[in-house]
Amino acid sequence: MRPILFGSVGGALRTAIALLTVAVVVTTIAVAQAAAPAAPKAAPSAQQPKVELLDPVYDFGSVLEGKPVSHTFKVRNGGGADLVIDHVQTTCGCTVAEPSRKRLKPGEQAEIAATFDTHYQKGHRQRVITLFSNDPRTPAATMTLQGDVKVEVDASPEEIAFNKIRQGTEQTRELALTYVGKGKDFKIEKISNSSPHIKVTQAARKDGKPGAMLTVTMLKSMPAGPFDDTIDIATNHQSVQVHVFGRIVGDLTLDPAQVSFGIVPHGQGATRILRLTNAAAGAVQITEISSTNQSVAAKVDSVTPGKEYKITVELRKGTPDGELRGALSIKTDNPRQPSLSVPFYGVVGSFKG
């Protein structure tokens, strides 16, 4: 029987106690580190430029439409190195002058003059001016012009649409003109527009309010196709413009209304199909078809005599690389639509936009 070594047991016990103590210490340190707040990040270097806009938002309150709004913004270099202004840009309807100086030493200021054109504006409006500089934290700083634009003469509706009207049809729309100014001598001095197929007449408002009622008539003579016109109303206070637009549908319709060849590989050709449909009571003949580009040709086949035609449009093989544009001209014996134009476009070879 081997003797029990009490010394060995005691050594093992002391070793176990020591390991346990180390584990407790390590765990305590880890918990303490996890609970400790993160060290603050280093502050940006003082030796950097810094854009400071002294008045970044200018509210001009209320102005009458047509009156320009001007304001001079001020920018300061609040950093410790030279601030270099690269350029300034603004949103549509606003112009901005060059900064009074483009390099600012620490503490120096520059002025930026901006003007907002309120013509044809109405309601709350906002224009943004952006300053680009070498400030690493704010490379694009914004300034804002904002306020309300009021009108003395209000047109309702602001635009008039005649959408997909059959050719030979006369249609009318009403336009209410209201004077909201403070004067009592309002009158319309002149009404004008470009198209001879649009007629405008005026009458007094039935509700007794200052202003007028206008009747806008699209005459039967309006040719087939899209149209766009502007009614200019000059008054003794403020002028008003009303946009008039629409599309007149004739007896003859093309589907599609234009031809896209897309991107055609080098040396290859392409074919597209159009259909011309006649909705008139009588028959219509296609008398001639031609192209403005010799690389594109077209031929006509009758599907239903006098009523429907198939038009095959061919892009010839070997067409030189590059952008392709042109139009087909289709002549007919229809007196109201003696000709139709079909635009075509595409790219031959690789696209180099």
DSSP 126-169: EEEEEEEES-SS-SEEEEEEEEEEE-SEEEESSEEEEEEEETT-
**pLDDT band of 65, cuts 50, 70, 90:** confident
Nearest 5°: CA angle at 150, between 149 and 155?
A: 120
Sign of CA dihedral 274, 277, 283, 289: negative
What pLDDT, on the 0 to 100 scale, is given for residue 2? 41
Average model confidence (pLDDT) across the chain: 87
CATH 2.60.40.10 fits 51-150, yes or no: yes
Structure tokens at 183: 């004067």
What pLDDT, on the 0 to 100 scale, is given for residue 151? 87
Work out the average pLDDT over 26-31: 43
Q: Which amino acid does the sequence have at 257?
A: A
pLDDT at 68 over 70: yes
Every domain of the chain and the residues it spans: 51-150, 153-249, 252-348
Work out the average pLDDT over 113-142: 93
User: Checking DSSP bridges between strand 240-249 and strand 225-235, what pairing results, if any?
Assistant: antiparallel
Superfamily, domain 252-348: Immunoglobulins (2.60.40.10)
What pLDDT, on the 0 to 100 scale, is given for residue 352? 59
Residue range 153-249 forms a domain whose CATH class is: mainly beta
pLDDT tens digits, one per residue of 220-269: 999 988 899 999 999 988 888 999 999 999 999 999 989 999 999 999 99
Enumerate residues 6+ apart whose C-beta is below 8 A from 209. 178, 179
| CB-count exposure of residue 284 (10 Å: 0-12, 13-18, 19+) | buried
Enumerate residues 6+ apart whose C-beta is below 8 A from 339. 329, 330, 331, 332
What pLDDT, on the 0 to 100 scale, is given for residue 180? 83
* Helix, strand or coil, per DSSP, at residue 303: strand
Measured between alpha carbons, how far is 338 from 59 in angstroms, rounded to an integer? 57
| Statement: the pTM of the whole predicted model exceeds 0.85 | no
